[in-house]
């Protein structure tokens, strides 16, 4: 009302972000689910009631009971314990692959947007080529070269995050490059490296963070799909996609073997997507006005 | 329009060139001797020498590439290691099942995605909007292969309504196309909603309302028509997603298509088939994007005359 006489309380960008983010109830709930999931993943060996690979042939394919909350699989292994251990694999694959892909993509995007010219042309055309392959196809091609296995899935899934981040960061870099504060930094003699990493990079981070969250969801889904078709984690690994593949033969006989791992994938990916939506709404000034 | 057409079509050529180069190099990126890989696991030294000779693997790389491209253009991708028949025949019989599945999935998911998106936008902030968007975000997060297994469990094993897999009659299309299309329907619903809301803010919509145009006409003619332009682009992009999704869904439902062939070939290390399939999938994807861009230009004069 009388904002011209009383100075408004100045909020830091981070404080401003928190204020917007905490209003997104669904996203906050998703974030809490993810924190709980990460804790479970880290402490899985202590939290899980059973050894995830210990077979018990007297107790195979039993439905959910008080002793085995999610039942047992064809080897009598406790499905609940396997899911808890599987969370370590899925979350690690998600974080590592997107981290790898985003760091590479951010650097390429910065170079591309900052220098322009032939560097820009080369990097952006390479991104076009990478995006010309549907994501999972690229991942399968990488696995055909490196061989099946969960480590290779990380690289395979990281590859198709690179062009996404490169394009995103290039766009923000182009608009920030002409900002007055960047000119000022250049005028006092800051080298290009400092201009890019200290002055432009932080400005690109809001959109990077939003994509980061969404890409983790996509990457976990893709990694699980690769394991499901037999190109990712190999038995007896308790990876969620691999568990679904194992349980396929017992559909109708012991549906819980596929029900719970599938639910775990769904809830995790859903949480990352909801978090991404919330972050976008909190960070994107264009949406705040409407 | 013609100059745009020529420009857009020629812009595809360098991408095609690089894609074909990458697919060609694929065999050389594998660890080991390419001739031994192509000759198969139980080849003799003589077989390997023959393969090296017939594929020209003793020639310089650029000559090999030229050979690869000229053969590929004529549909010659060599022999499948698994069945010892030409790759093009293996792929040929798998081609239509995948195309049909993709088209059916695309058709229903576009229609439902559009309807849910429009409903959510028109009823913004009400239960239809929340319901639609909850469905959409769940659809995006739902693993297609898990959905497939759940449906087989319910509709095939328990109720005996639909076959668990295979490729016979319309019944066999129901579950695979649903599993494949769900993600696309969800993306379309979200995208339609935001495109619709964006257009609905425009001045000419307010003008239409002020003139007394009925609400139904405003929604279906004025807003949706203009929102269709970005939506067409989105449909094209989703085709790539469907091609990728078909790999997983075909595995679940034992569908005799290209996706399952690719998975089997990777497991069997049938490199000539893998190579041909990756090239085919990529070309398909590039051409669909091209077609979409041209459609987009036809619908939007702004681009045509730039």
Reported ipTM: the value is 0.84
Do B244 and A137 count as a contact with CB atoms less than 8 A apart? Answer: yes
- All residues at 6 or more sequence positions from A107 whose CB lies less than 8 Å from its CB, including other chains: none
**Which residue in A has a C-alpha nearest to residue B11's C-alpha?**
A125
Q: How confident is the model at residue B302 (pLDDT cuts 50, 70, 90)?
A: low
Residues B192 and B226: beta-carbon distance below 8 Å: no
A90 vs B: CB within 8 A: no
Q: DSSP of B69-90, one letter per residue?
A: HHHHHTT---B-TTT-SBHHHH
CA distances, B215 to each of A253, B85, B120, B211 (Å):
53, 61, 15, 11
Are A158 and A93 spatial neighbours (Cβ–Cβ below 8 Å)?
Answer: no
CB contact under 8 A, B263 and A230: yes
CA distance A67 to A81: 11
Minimal-distance CA residue of chain B relative to A133: B282
Report for A95-99, A115-119, A213-217, B299-303: range of highest mean pLDDT: A95-99
Is B107 within 8 Å of B173 (Cβ atoms)?
A: no
CB A242 within 8 A of CB A73: no
Which of helix, strand or coil describes residue A121?
helix
> What's the pLDDT tens digit per position in B182-235?
999 999 999 989 888 888 888 888 888 888 888 888 888 888 888 887 788 788
Chain B residues contacting A via beta carbons under 8 Å: 14-15, 18-19, 22, 26, 29-31, 137-138, 140-146, 149-150, 152-153, 157-158, 201, 240-241, 243-245, 247-248, 251, 262-263, 266-267, 271, 274, 278, 281-282, 285-286
Is pTM beyond 0.80? Reply is yes
Q: Is A21 on the interface with B (CB under 8 A)?
A: no
What percent of chain A lies above the pLDDT cut of 70? Answer: 94
Cross-chain Cβ contact B143/A269 below 8 Å = yes
A72: three-class secondary structure by DSSP: strand
Give the span between the Cα atoms of A134 and B101, in whole angstroms.
17
In whole angstroms, give the CA distance from residue B170 to residue B147: 19
From B30, B262, B282, residue closest to A133, measured CB to CB: B282
Contacts of A127 (CB under 8 A, 6+ apart): A108, A162, A163, A166, A167
CA distance B98 to A119: 39
pLDDT at residue B270, rounded to an integer:
84
- B-facing residues of A in 95-154 (CB < 8 A) are 125, 128-129, 132-137, 140-141, 143-145, 148
Mean pLDDT of B70-98: 85
In this prediction, what percent of chain A has a pLDDT beyond 90? 30
Angle made by CA atoms A100, A102, A106, in degrees to the nearest 5:
125
Q: Calculate the alpha carbon distances from B10 to A176, A289, B23, B305 in Å.
A: 32, 41, 21, 18
Q: Which residues of A touch B137 (CB under 8 A)?
A: 270, 273-274, 277
Do you find a cis peptide bond into B131, omega within 30 degrees of 0?
A: no
**For chains A and B, what is the number of CB pairs under 8 angstroms?**
119
Question: Which residues 6+ apart lie within 8 Å of B62 measured at CB?
Answer: none
Contacts of B267 in chain A (CB under 8 A): 230-231
Query: CB of A51 within 8 Å of any CB in chain B?
Result: no
Whether pLDDT at A288 is above 50: no
Helix/strand/coil for A78: strand
Model pLDDT, residue A105: 95
Inter-chain contact A128–B15, Cβ cutoff 8 Å? yes
Of B227, B34, B17, nearest to B121 by C-alpha is B227
Q: Which residue of B has its CA nearest to A240?
A: B146
Per-residue pLDDT tens for A42-78? 998 888 888 888 777 777 777 788 777 778 877 878 8
End-to-end CA distance of chain A: 21
Residue A89 has pLDDT above 70, yes or no: yes
Residue A78's DSSP bridge partners are A72
pLDDT for res B206: 86
Under an 8 A CB cutoff, do A269 and B141 touch?
A: yes
Q: Which residues of B95-106 are buried (b: 16+ CB within 10 A; e: fewer)?
A: eebbeebbebbb
* pLDDT at A1 (0 to 100): 47
Contacts of B286 in chain A (CB under 8 A): 132
CA distances from A211 to A88, A115, A204, A207, B72 (A): 22, 24, 11, 6, 38
**CA nearest to B241 within chain A:** A134
Contact at CB, B145 and A135, closer than 8 angstroms: no
């Amino acid at each position: 009302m009388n904002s011209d006489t009383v100075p408004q309380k100045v909020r830091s960008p981070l404080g401003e972000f928190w204020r917007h983010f905490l209003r997104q109830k669904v996203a906050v709930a998703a974030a809490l689910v993810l924190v709980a999931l990460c804790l479970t993943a880290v402490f899985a060996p202590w939290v899980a009631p059973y050894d995830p690979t210990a077979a018990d042939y007297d107790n195979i394919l039993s439905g959910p009971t008080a002793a085995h909350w999610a039942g047992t699989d064809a080897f009598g292994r406790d499905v609940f314990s396997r899911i808890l251990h599987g969370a370590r694999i899925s979350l690690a694959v998600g974080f590592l692959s997107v981290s790898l892909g985003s760091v590479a993509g951010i650097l390429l995007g910065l170079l591309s947007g900052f220098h322009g010219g032939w560097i820009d042309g080369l990097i952006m055309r390479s991104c076009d080529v990478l995006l010309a392959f549907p994501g999972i196809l690229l991942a399968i091609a990488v696995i055909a070269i490196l061989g099946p296995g969960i480590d290779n899935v990380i690289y395979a899934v990281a590859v198709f995050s690179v062009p996404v981040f490169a394009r995103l960061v290039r766009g923000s870099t182009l608009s920030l490059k002409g900002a007055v504060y960047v000119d000022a930094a250049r005028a006092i003699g800051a080298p290009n490296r400092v201009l890019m990493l200290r002055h432009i990079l932080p400005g690109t981070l809001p959109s990077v963070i939003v994509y980061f969250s969404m890409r983790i969801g996509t990457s976990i889904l893709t990694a699980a799909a690769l394991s499901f078709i037999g190109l990712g984690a190999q038995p007896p690994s308790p990876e969620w996609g691999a568990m679904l593949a194992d349980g396929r033969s017992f559909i109708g006989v012991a549906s819980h073997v596929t029900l719970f791992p599938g639910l775990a994938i769904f809830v995790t990916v859903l949480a990352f997507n909801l978090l991404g939506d919330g972050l976008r709404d909190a960070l994107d000034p264009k949406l705040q006005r409407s | 329009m013609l100059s745009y057409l020529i420009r857009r079509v020629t812009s595809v050529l360098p991408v095609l060139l690089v894609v074909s180069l990458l697919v060609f190099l694929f065999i050389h990126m594998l660890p080991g001797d390419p001739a031994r890989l192509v000759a198969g696991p139980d080849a003799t030294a003589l077989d390997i020498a023959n393969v090296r000779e017939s594929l020209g693997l003793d020639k310089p790389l650029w000559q090999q590439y030229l050979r690869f491209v000229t053969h590929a253009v004529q549909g010659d991708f060599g022999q499948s290691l698994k069945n010892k028949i030409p790759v093009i025949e293996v792929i040929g019989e798998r081609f239509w099942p995948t195309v049909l599945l993709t088209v059916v999935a695309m058709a229903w998911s576009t229609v439902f995605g559009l309807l849910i998106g429009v409903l959510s936008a028109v009823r913004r902030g009400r239960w239809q909007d929340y319901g639609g968007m909850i469905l959409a975000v769940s659809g995006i997060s739902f693993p297609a292969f898990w959905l497939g297994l759940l449906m087989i469990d319910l509709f095939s094993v328990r109720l005996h309504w639909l076959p668990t897999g295979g490729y016979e009659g319309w019944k066999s299309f129901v579950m695979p196309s649903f599993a494949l299309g769900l993600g696309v329907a969800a993306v379309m619903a979200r995208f339609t909603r935001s495109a619709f809301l964006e257009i609905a803010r425009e001045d000419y919509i307010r003008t239409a309302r002020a003139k007394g145009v009925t609400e139904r006409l405003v929604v279906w003619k004025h807003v949706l028509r203009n929102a269709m332009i970005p939506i067409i682009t989105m449909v094209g992009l989703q085709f790539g997603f469907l091609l990728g999704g078909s790999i997983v869904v075909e595995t679940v439902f034992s569908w005799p298509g290209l996706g399952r062939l690719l998975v089997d070939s990777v497991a069997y290390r049938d490199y000539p088939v893998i190579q041909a399939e990756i090239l085919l999938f990529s070309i398909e994807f590039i051409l669909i994007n091209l077609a979409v861009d041209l459609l987009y230009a036809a619908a939007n004069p702004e681009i045509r005359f730039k």
